[in-house]
Amino acid sequence: MTKEQLFHAHLKQIWLNSGALLKTLLVAIPVGIVVLAILWGIIKLIEKKAPQESRIVTIIKERKGWILGLGFYISLIIQIVIFSRPFGSTRTVNWIPFQVPGGDYLIVLYSLANAIIFIPFGMLVPKVFHSVNTIGKMILVALITSVCIELIQYALACGYSEVEDVIMNVAGGVIGYVFVAKCMKI
């Protein structure tokens, strides 16, 4: 296969993958809206039933939008990385980062996708949980979250569990955290 044929084969694969992602998002967004509505109801219930001077009501009132945003985001992530794949279909662990079958183009695509998908995580988590207030804490939270996702995928046999995913998810979380921190200083 010539370099040009290989390039076109990679482009075709990227196109097919982006179509699958779009289909997944078309299902995930309505699910996210339902989760958003449920969270909104829970927040309203807490605000109504809990004593108004309680710490939980104060925190919820201060961070309501961020809480709803994080809940919507998490529901999208769960749908994309777990429920969009058939359970029992794939149980593979790849301990060697940045080695995807298909060559450099797909490595770059998957690596960027794994970083980009976690940027909102890095932006939202510190706004909801103020104790995540350093890059070190953000790295730890993103690392734990990403490892949990990979373990769930492995346990349900619904995806490839890869070290590269964890590395790039953590990088994306840090990028989101740094972006928000810089914006807050401005």
| Residue 9's pLDDT band (cuts 50, 70, 90) | low
Q: How much is the pTM?
A: 0.83
pLDDT for the residue 100: 64
The per-residue pLDDT for range 109-152, each reduced to its tens digit, is 788 989 999 999 999 999 999 999 999 999 999 999 999 999 99
In the chain, what percentage of residues exceed pLDDT 90?
57
Q: What are the contacts of 167-171 at 24+ separation with CB within 8 A? A: 167/97, 168/111, 168/112, 168/114, 168/115, 168/118, 169/114, 169/115, 169/117, 169/118, 169/121, 169/142, 169/145, 170/118, 170/139, 170/142, 170/143, 170/146, 171/115, 171/118
> Mean pLDDT: which of 1-15, 22-36, 122-136 is highest?
122-136
What average pLDDT is seen over the chain?
87
| Residue, of 85 and 127, whose pLDDT is higher | 127
The per-residue pLDDT for range 86-108, each reduced to its tens digit, is 888 778 888 788 776 656 666 78
